[in-house]
């Protein structure tokens, strides 16, 4: 209960009426007509803060937002009785300190609407009008209309509904409301602004109210929110249905992709305890090349030359790295060295490779149906690819028994094949490959497995995401053979951290170990041996 003695169901209305005179003093009647709604929102927030500070009342962020919104609506409409009247609980405990800029930043990270009453007004209008809109239009027909045409129709309909319901929104807020409705009807709802932001590389939805993004290698909490967990699940279902997959209690996790090629992982209750979780690795519209990576400082000029030679000399390459370290990006960059006359077969769980060659066959796994039948695994596709007369086979990620089939393909005339694997060091990548081959249930001894790896893999490229958010090639390592039961390797290049700049960026040195490349005979076969030695001597 409140210290003012007001009943719970009238608290917001009473406080609004009590504060309205103070707001009218700050914005005199003669200036109301020319004052933007955003300016009214700023003054309303100041009035609320001053009142709570002076009266030693404590109001949570949600109630503060509602009170500010009520003040704005009452002030702009000239009728304070039209404002919403949700109940709140105001406690007369400790004084409510006025927010400093830092406090405001912290509160916004919890409730983004607390510092944006205008957006709160749009959300409230959307909650009220969206059911009416869906009732008055044919949603199936609307989904087939071009976005521009549907936007015009919705704009007209929203104008009529705002008049009917006496909801006050300015032009910018109306446009925002129409955009949100369009995103819900045609796109992925609240995620659409994040998908269109090219500076964001990854989107992580942890339930309805917490959506994180990765921007320049750093994770931050965005101001995007869903209505509730059912809204998140609805968006997840829309994603997987578009590619013929499903997500439900019997199949609570799924890998999928968006129309632009972005990779998506979805996991829902009962496996995800706090609500459906969606992770989107965004498809980069800009093609990442070795030159681009060189510009970003991900490798040295000599390393870039070495990788170009490795691609043209048809070396079998394994790219190793942790989650989000840039393995697929590097694989795409290396694939640009493939001759346009070669037939390439790519195999992935969710297709995301961006090969530019004209002769590419893209294969994608398939999950089982409702009866548990019809599953097509990576191993099935690798075996089938061998019958498709490929020059190279590219496996997006090796994480199961298909490792054995991939090694056999590399050893049987498919030089220049590539794949990625999760590991932290080149030596650990070899160990992981051994374990994955063991998953194929093949009756092979550890020595036989290592011999297969030694004869199949020519080079391991280790990529790392460093603590400053940058991604760099940490090792370029060759597999040189076997000594007794031990697989032997040599580092051609390594990345060593030498310091840190004042802006928090790491300084690195790409060290050339000056070793004679074991792949020199293969490079000589393609007439690239001189270029290779010049690169290693630079």
Concatenate the DSSP letters of all residues of 426-487 into one string: HHHHHHHHHHHHHTTT----HHHHHHHHHHH--EEEEEEE-TTS-EEEEEEEEEEEEETTEE
Specify which residues 45 forms β-bridges with.
Answer: none
Ranges in the chain annotated CATH 3.30.450.90: 120-281
Q: How far is CA 272 from CA 157, 253, 265, 266, 421, in A?
A: 39, 9, 12, 10, 26
Q: Per-residue confidence at 2, pLDDT binned at 50, 70, 90?
A: very low
**What is the sign of the dihedral through the CA atoms of 181, 183, 187 and 191?**
negative
* Selection from 381, 411, 415, 383 nearest residue 396 by Cα: 381
Which of 225, 228, 196 lies closest to 211, judged by CA?
A: 225
**Mean pLDDT lowest among 130-139, 189-198, 229-238, 341-350:** 130-139
pLDDT above 50 (res 231) = yes
Residue 114 has pLDDT above 60, yes or no: no
Which residue is listed with tokens 């019997």? 250
pLDDT at 8 over 60: no
| Number of residues that make up the chain | 538
Higher pLDDT, residue 416 or 39: 416
- Residue 184 CA to residue 400 CA, distance in Å, equals 38
Mean pLDDT of 172-178: 82
pLDDT at residue 140, rounded to an integer: 66
How many CB atoms within 10 Å of residue 249? 9
CATH number of 293-537: 3.40.50.300
Q: What is the pLDDT of residue 429?
A: 94
184 has a pLDDT exceeding 50:
yes
Q: Two tokens at 135? A: 């009732």
> Would the pLDDT of 10 be above 70?
no
Weakest mean pLDDT among 129-133, 289-293, 337-341: 129-133
If one compares 118 and 46, the residue with the highest pLDDT of the two is 46
pLDDT value of residue 485: 87
| Cβ contact 185:150 at 8 Å | yes
Q: Helical H runs in 275-401?
A: 290-295, 301-312, 327-335, 378-385
Would the pLDDT of 298 be above 60?
yes
Q: Residue 3 has what pLDDT? A: 39
Q: Which two tokens stand for residue 514?
A: 């000056």
Q: Specify the fold of 120-281.
A: Beta-Lactamase (3.30.450)
- Specify the pLDDT at position 459: 96
Q: Helix 147-165 to helix 117-136 angle, to the nearest 10 degrees?
A: 100
Distance CA 57, CA 273 (A): 36
Question: What pLDDT does 106 receive?
Answer: 42
Least confident interval from 35-44, 71-80, 408-417, 428-437: 71-80
The residue with greater pLDDT, 441 or 115, is: 441
Evaluate if residue 532 carries a pLDDT over 90.
yes
**Angle at CA 307, nearest 5°, toward 522 and 381?**
80
Spatial separation of the C-alpha atoms in residues 185 and 394, rounded to whole Å: 37
Cα dihedral 448, 450, 453, 455 sign: negative
Residue that wins the pLDDT comparison between 294 and 31: 294
Using one digit for the tens of pLDDT, what is the confidence trace for 48-68? Answer: 888 877 777 777 776 777 788
Q: Is the pTM of this model over 0.75?
A: no
* pLDDT tier at 238, thresholds 50, 70, 90: confident
Please state, in angstroms and rounded to a whole number, the distance separating the CA atoms of residues 197 and 193. 6
Predicted confidence at residue 6, as pLDDT, reads 42
How many Cβ atoms from other residues are within 10 Å of residue 415's Cβ? 18
Cα–Cα distance for residue pair 420/463, rounded to 1 Å: 10
> How close are the terminal C-alpha atoms of the chain, in Å?
77
Residues β-bridged to residue 140: none
Provide the mean pLDDT of the chain. Answer: 81
User: Which 3 state secondary structure label does DSSP give 185?
Assistant: helix
With 0-12 / 13-18 / 19 or more C-beta atoms within 10 angstroms meaning exposed / middle / buried, residue 27 is middle
10 Å CB burial of residue 460 (0-12, 13-18, 19+) is buried
Contact assessment for residue 364 and residue 327, using Cβ atoms and an 8 Å cutoff: no
In this predicted model, what pLDDT tens digit does every residue of 370-405 receive, in sequence order?
Answer: 777 888 988 899 989 989 999 999 998 888 888 988
**Dihedral pair phi/psi, residue 73, rounded to 5°:** -60, -45
CB 418 within 8 A of CB 344: no
Please give the Cα distance from 51 to 98 (Å, whole number).
10
Instruction: Decide the pairing of beta strands 253-257 and 344-348.
Output: unpaired
* pLDDT attached to residue 381: 92
pLDDT value of residue 31: 66
Q: How far is CA 60 from the centre of its chain?
A: 31
- 8 or 107: whose pLDDT is higher? 8
Mean pLDDT, rounded, for 411-416? 87
Mean pLDDT in residue range 319-330: 90
Model confidence at 249: pLDDT above 50? yes
pLDDT score of 117:
54
Whether the Cβ atoms of residue 342 and residue 314 lie closer than 8 Å to each other: no
Burial of 379-413, coded b for 16+ CB within 10 Å and e otherwise, reads: bbbbeebbeeebbbbbbbbbbebbbbbbbbbbbee
**pLDDT score at 77:** 65
Q: What is the DSSP string of 112-179?
A: GGGG-HHHHHHHHHHHHHHHHHHHHS-HHHHTTS-HHHHHHHHHHHHHHHHHHHT----HHHHHHHHH
Residue of 89 and 30 predicted with greater confidence? 30
Give kind and range of the element (H or E) at residue 267: strand 263-267
In the chain, which segments carry CATH 3.40.50.300? 293-537
Measure the CA–CA gap between 519 and 361, rounded to whole angstroms.
28
- Tokens matching residue 203: 């989107």
pLDDT surpassing 70 at residue 45: yes
Whether 9 has a pLDDT exceeding 70, the answer reads no
Helix, strand, coil percentages in the chain from 3-state DSSP, rounded to 5? 45, 20, 35
For residues 236 and 320, give the distance between their C-alpha atoms in angstroms, rounded to a whole number. 30
Position 420 scores a pLDDT of: 93
């Amino acid at each position: 209960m409140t210290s003012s003695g007001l009943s719970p169901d009238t608290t917001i209305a009473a406080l609004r009426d009590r504060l309205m005179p103070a707001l009218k003093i700050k914005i005199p009647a003669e200036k109301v007509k020319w004052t933007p709604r955003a300016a009214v929102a700023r003054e309303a927030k100041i009035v609320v803060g001053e009142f709570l500070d002076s009266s030693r009342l404590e109001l949570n962020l949600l109630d503060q937002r509602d009170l500010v919104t009520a003040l704005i609506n009452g002030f702009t409409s000239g009728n304070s009785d039209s404002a919403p009247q949700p109940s709140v609980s105001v406690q007369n405990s400790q004084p409510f300190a006025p927010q400093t800029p830092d406090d405001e930043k912290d509160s916004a990270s919890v409730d983004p609407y607390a510092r944006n009453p205008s957006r709160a007004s749009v959300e409230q209008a959307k909650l009220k009008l969206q059911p009416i809109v869906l009732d008055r239009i044919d949603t199936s027909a609307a989904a087939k209309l071009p976005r521009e045409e549907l936007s015009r129709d919705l704009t007209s309909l929203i104008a009529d509904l705002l008049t009917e319901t006496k909801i006050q929104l300015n032009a910018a807020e109306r446009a925002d409301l129409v955009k949100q409705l369009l995103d819900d009807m045609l796109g992925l709802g609240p995620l659409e602004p994040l998908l269109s932001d090219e500076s964001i590389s990854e989107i992580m939805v942890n339930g309805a109210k917490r959506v994180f993004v990765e921007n320049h290698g750093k994770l931050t909490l965005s101001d995007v929110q869903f209505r509730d967990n059912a809204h998140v699940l609805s968006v997840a279902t829309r994603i997987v249905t578009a590619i013929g997959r499903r997500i439900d209690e019997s199949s609570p996790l799924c890998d999928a992709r968006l129309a632009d090629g972005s990779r998506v992982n979805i996991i829902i209750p009962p496996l995800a305890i706090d609500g459906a979780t969606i992770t989107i690795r965004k498809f980069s519209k800009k093609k990442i090349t070795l030159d681009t990576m060189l510009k970003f400082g991900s490798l040295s000029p000599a390393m870039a030359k070495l990788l170009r030679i490795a691609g043209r000399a048809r070396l079998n390459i394994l790219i190793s790295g942790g989650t989000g370290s840039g393995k697929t990006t590097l694989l795409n960059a290396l694939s640009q060295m493939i001759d346009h006359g070669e037939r390439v077969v790519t195999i992935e769980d969710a297709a995301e490779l961006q090969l530019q060659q004209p002769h590419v066959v893209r294969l994608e796994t398939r999950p089982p149906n409702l009866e548990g039948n019809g599953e097509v695994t990576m191993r099935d596709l690798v075996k089938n690819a061998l019958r498709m007369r490929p020059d190279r086979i590219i496996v997006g990620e090796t994480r199961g028994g298909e490792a054995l089939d991939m090694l056999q393909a590399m050893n049987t005339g498919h030089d220049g094949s590539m794949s990625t694997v999760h590991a932290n060091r080149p030596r650990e990548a070899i160990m992981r490959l051994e374990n994955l081959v063991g998953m194929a249930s093949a009756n092979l001894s550890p020595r036989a497995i290592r011999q297969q790896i030694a004869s199949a893999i020519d080079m391991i490229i280790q990529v790392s995401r460093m603590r400053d958010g940058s991604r760099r090639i940490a090792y370029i390592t060759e597999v040189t053979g076997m000594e007794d039961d031990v697989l032997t390797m040599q580092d051609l290049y390594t990345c060593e951290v030498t310091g840190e700049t004042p802006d928090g960026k790491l300084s690195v040195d790409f060290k050339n170990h000056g070793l004679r490349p074991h792949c020199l005979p293969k490079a000589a076969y393609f007439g690239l041996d001189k270029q290779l030695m010049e690169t290693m001597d630079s």
